[in-house]
Structure 1
Amino acid sequence: MKRSIKVFAPATVANVVCGFDVLGFAVNEPGDEVIMRLTDKPGVSLLKITGDEGRLPLDPDKNTVSAIAKHYLQHIGQPNAGIEIELHKKMPIGSGLGSSSASTVAGLFAINTLFDNQLSNKELIPFAMKGEELACGYGHADNVAPALMGGFVLIRSYSPLDIISLPFPAELYAAIVYPEVDVPTKDARQMIRSKVYLKDAVTQWGNVAGLVSGLFMNDYELIGRSMTDVLVEPTRAILIPDFYVLRAMAMETGAIGFGISGSGPSVFALTRDKETAKKITQNLQQHLKSLSINSLAFVSEVNKKGPVVLD
């Protein structure tokens, strides 16, 4: 049995425009790292956190990484095992890129590996969902499922939980831009209307089905015209500076489709190649700079592996 492990878990793009809480995909960067060690001292301790500017709790019951590690140990019948954890945030908090998910998944994958992989990555999803509940008040799976499984993921049902890995075009790239403005996930969720018109629901169902079909068929045009959201995006777009200008710029530069990543403020475009993705991020960052808004950009293939052991 290993005594120490270092794990990376990827950021994710949840919703993929039309699939609120049911679609998501993983990217190669950014992500988070967790170092975990077995010790002879009983209990789970969180030794340090870096890269969070002091925003995350060190209390092992309040931090998602350590709290879910405790939950995992209870499940496998090792509640008194000794664990020391370091969390190294390599991605912005509150970016809409699954920051809490990446931390939780890295920790879960680490502890499961240390204890001889008693559960599959798919079986770890309910544990990771508890981490999301701790972080933002709701245990959704559209970040943690792709972070654990890699690729594109569909959550067909939450009760019972039914997770499906989807195929996707091998050449697909994501262009991601994070404008450094504050959009807390809890606040963004509260803005969503609780009732929708049937005609809007029908439109949304058609787009989700179209997007999934497009991924199966490698049909870029179908993927693109399905990336339309009539339920959530119209409200959340208000929180993102010049959202519709950014979308128009991305589409003019060759994006297949464009939307908000998770609850925002990050936005993303899907493209057929890396060069187009790079051009889109450059153009969007330049526009945000003209608005005196700093931003970070990431260009990535769809991550196929999920979490990985670094050493």
Structure 2
Amino acid sequence: MSEIKVFAPASVANVGPGYDTFGFAIEELGDIITVSKRNDQKLNFLPSIGAELPVEPLENVAGVAIQSFLTKLGSTQGFDITIEKMFRPGSGLGSSASSAAGSVFAVNALLGYPCTTKELLPHALEGEALASKCYHADNVAPSLLGGFQAVRSYEPLDIFSIKNLEALHVLIIFPDVQIKTVEAKKLLPVTLSIKDAREQWGNVAAVIHALHTKDYELLNRAITDRIAEPFRKNLIPGYEKVKKIASESGSVGFNISGSGPSMFALFTDESNLTSCSEKIEKFYSSIDLSVKIHISGINSVGCKIL
């Protein structure tokens, strides 16, 4: 095999209280990455589609991820890489993570699968760190592996997944503004009060328990955040109104997706989701702001060959 095309899904990170810890992959939205072998050692990025991305390998998250992987293998194989973006960077849906995850997944396949998919995670993290200026796996892990992933530890990296979430339907709300992850991180507090920390820990435990037991009333109460949401919500036009619409429409969980501006709402009833979507579109129309709506399940597959 000398050429491959893969799909790397977008993802929702943080998921309320799980700052840099929780994330899940979504369906039908992500990156399409085409990689082909070269006859030399060069990593060559062809013009991207859907967004303007750096062509210099060490300035591109996919290039950094691939180079990290090749260095581990001791390989000097060169590649041509084309990235097609189905959603723009700065959306809060893990754009850089999709590129990093999909690129190492593709190269691993072209080289005959020297590593398991999970073993690719540290290399995808290297690429993600270029974009966000820190290591966080809450987008990379679900994009690469699929499903709902939780990071227990970064040193050493230790993740686990929550299974059997087919009952949850996801509404993604993406108002037409852009927020860069590295800028959004600057808004966050460097310390937490004991009161806020205690509540955050309780909500983290409650989200995991609620997902395992299908206790969606508990899930709805627990998807609140004391670290990022109080500061980042002010960057998102209409945030409190959209949150209120979701709650009144029967959502079982609502919060900011990653750094925003995208938001997510979880539903167990598809008719409630449809009604909520219509009301949110009507609201944004009333304030003359464009909004994109995406309806999905939780993607259990992650990166896949097309």
Q: TM-score, normalised by structure 2?
A: 0.97
Task: State the one-letter code of the partner of 1:208.
Answer: V
What is aligned with 1:63? 60
> Per-residue CA shift, 1:99-135, capped at 9, x if unaligned?
1111111111100111111111211111111111111
Contact 1:152–1:168, Cα closer than 8 Å, also in 2: no
What is aligned with 2:279? 283
What is aligned with 2:23? 24
What is aligned with 1:253? 249
Whether 1:160 aligns to 2:156 is yes
What is aligned with 1:180? 176
What is aligned with 1:171? 167
What is aligned with 1:10? 9
What is aligned with 2:235? 239
- SS of corresponding position for 1:36: strand
**Which stretch shifts more, 169-178 or 206-215?**
169-178
Return the alpha-carbon distance in structure 2 between the equivalents of residues 231 and 82 of structure 1: 42
- SS of corresponding position for 1:230: coil
Return the alpha-carbon distance in structure 2 between the equivalents of residues 76 and 287 of structure 1: 52
Could you tell me how far 1:58 is from its partner in structure 2?
Answer: 1.0
What is aligned with 1:264? 260
Alignment of 1:295-306 (within 5 A): 295-306=291-302
Task: State the one-letter code of the partner of 1:135.
Answer: A
1:87 equivalent among 39, 64, 83: 83
What is aligned with 1:35? 34
What is aligned with 2:72? 75
Contact 1:177–1:285, Cα closer than 8 Å, also in 2: no
Return the alpha-carbon distance in structure 2 between the equivalents of residues 279 and 32 of structure 1: 29
Could you tell me how far 1:230 is from its partner in structure 2?
Answer: 2.1
> Per-residue CA shift, 1:16-47, capped at 9, x if unaligned?
01110110100003100100001212221112
Could you tell me how far 1:76 is from its partner in structure 2?
Answer: 0.9
Could you tell me how far 1:291 is from its partner in structure 2?
Answer: 1.2
**Count of aligned pairs between the two proteins:** 306
Contact 2:101–2:124, Cα closer than 8 Å, also in 1: yes
Contact 2:64–2:126, Cα closer than 8 Å, also in 1: no
- SS of corresponding position for 2:283: helix
Could you tell me how far 1:282 is from its partner in structure 2?
Answer: 2.3
- SS of corresponding position for 1:289: helix
What is aligned with 1:222? 218
Task: State the one-letter code of the partner of 2:111.
Answer: F
Contact 1:176–1:281, Cα closer than 8 Å, also in 2: no
Unaligned runs of 5+ in 1: none
- SS of corresponding position for 1:48: coil
Contact 1:131–1:139, Cα closer than 8 Å, also in 2: no
Contact 2:63–2:127, Cα closer than 8 Å, also in 1: no
Return the alpha-carbon distance in structure 1 between the equivalents of residues 277 and 28 of structure 2: 14
Return the alpha-carbon distance in structure 1 between the equivalents of residues 121 and 93 of structure 2: 17
Could you tell me how far 1:169 is from its partner in structure 2?
Answer: 3.0
What is aligned with 1:147? 143
Return the alpha-carbon distance in structure 1 between the equivalents of residues 109 and 238 of structure 2: 44
Could you tell me how far 1:4 is from its partner in structure 2?
Answer: 0.5
Return the alpha-carbon distance in structure 1 between the equivalents of residues 41 and 192 of structure 2: 51
Contact 2:65–2:125, Cα closer than 8 Å, also in 1: no
- SS of corresponding position for 2:92: coil
Could you tell me how far 1:73 is from its partner in structure 2?
Answer: 1.1
Unaligned runs of 5+ in 2: none
- SS of corresponding position for 1:74: helix
- SS of corresponding position for 1:6: strand
Return the alpha-carbon distance in structure 1 between the equivalents of residues 165 and 252 of structure 2: 12
- SS of corresponding position for 2:46: strand
**Which stretch shifts more, 229-238 or 94-103?**
229-238
Q: TM-score, normalised by structure 1?
A: 0.96
Indicate the RMSD between aligned Cα atoms, in angstroms.
1.1
Return the alpha-carbon distance in structure 2 between the equivalents of residues 228 and 205 of structure 1: 11
Could you tell me how far 1:285 is from its partner in structure 2?
Answer: 2.0
What is aligned with 2:114? 118
Could you tell me how far 1:168 is from its partner in structure 2?
Answer: 4.2
